[in-house]
Amino acid sequence: MEGNWTQLTEFVLRGITDRPELQVPLFLVFFFIYVTTMVGNLGLIFLIWKDPHLHTPMYLFLGNLAFADACTSSSVTPKILIKFLNKNDMISLGECFSQFYFFCSSATAECFLLVAMAYDRYAAICNPLLYLVVMSNRLCVQFISVSYLIGLLHALLHVGLLFRLTFCSSNIIDHFYCEIFPLYTISCTDPSINALVAFIFAIFIQVSTFMSIIVSYIRVLFAILKKRSEKGRSKAFYTCSAHLASVSLFYGTLFFIYVLSGSDTDNYQGKMYSLFYTVIIPLLNPFIYSLRNKEVLDALRKLTK
């Protein structure tokens, strides 16, 4: 019996695919995605910091969203690249828990930053005369600080609960990063408490933040419909629809993994859904939120000149 309860300290990440002929092409694809993600997000942060005209609440939130996206991508993608490059699929227990902690904290912070951004747009469009009073610098700093604090505490809760689990039989994690549900399936300790806590917090965080975003954008939509300028309406519609598309993709995949499927996500379909919120969304967000933004493009032209 003692041998059965020897704590495993190293795990094997199965990754996205085991097919050898796909390793090099996938490495090139993910390397390009990661470099583009870092350039897009860190470049946007630098641009906002460099141009005084972008030192407003809207761009302060956007810069922090870019930082959260960069952290999310950096917590997952480098390990994927290492596995493709030298087939090193081993990860220690400490590395595994650390990887999930950084991913969970940045993804949770992003949920609340998206709420802050939606509220900012609501205040700017629905109460333009009172915008500078409502969205003060102090309130912006409070929004951002609370978002990161909740993210850090939420991740700490789940990682703390992981320490109650014992891994003694299988050390194969059927995923491309240390996701908690595949860890539950190989645990020798009953993970019911962990799964219940994960489900409750996923419901609370994802549903509450998503509904807050939707309510804000619905009110923005009604305000847009009252605008007399057709050009102003079309521009606002385009911006809001792009933001909502990004938010829906992010929340849709998170909701599927953490609420609908639970511990049954250790399959190929679950990996594909996970790719969206760990790799694809951080790539798309800087372009969705800034590509058609006149102020950002003007700042970029100034910087290049």
Q: What is the pLDDT of residues 212-228, one digit of tens each?
A: 999 998 888 888 777 66
21 pLDDT band (50/70/90 cuts)? confident
Look at the chain and report how many structural domains it folds into.
1
Query: In this predicted structure, what is the pLDDT of residue 147?
Result: 96
How many whole angstroms separate alpha carbon 55 and alpha carbon 76?
Answer: 30
153 pLDDT band (50/70/90 cuts)? very high
Instruction: State the residue range of the domain holding 231.
Output: 3-304
211 vs 226, more confident: 211
Query: In this predicted structure, what is the pLDDT of residue 266?
Result: 47
Query: In this predicted structure, what is the pLDDT of residue 111?
Result: 94
Cα-based distances in Å from 301 to 41, 51, 58, 285, 304: 17, 11, 20, 20, 5
CATH number at residue 186: 1.20.1070.10
Single pTM value for the model: 0.90
7 vs 241, more confident: 241
pLDDT average, residue stretch 289-295: 75
Cα-based distances in Å from 8 to 12, 100, 187, 267: 11, 18, 10, 23
How many whole angstroms separate alpha carbon 283 and alpha carbon 127?
Answer: 32
Query: In this predicted structure, what is the pLDDT of residue 12?
Result: 86
The mean of the pLDDT values for the chain is: 85
Order across the sheet with 10-13: list the strands: 90-92, 10-13, 172-173
Q: What is the pLDDT of residues 66-121, one digit of tens each?
A: 999 999 999 999 999 988 887 667 888 889 999 999 999 999 999 999 999 999 98
Q: Which distant-in-sequence residues (6+ apart) come within 8 Å of 225 by Cβ?
A: 233
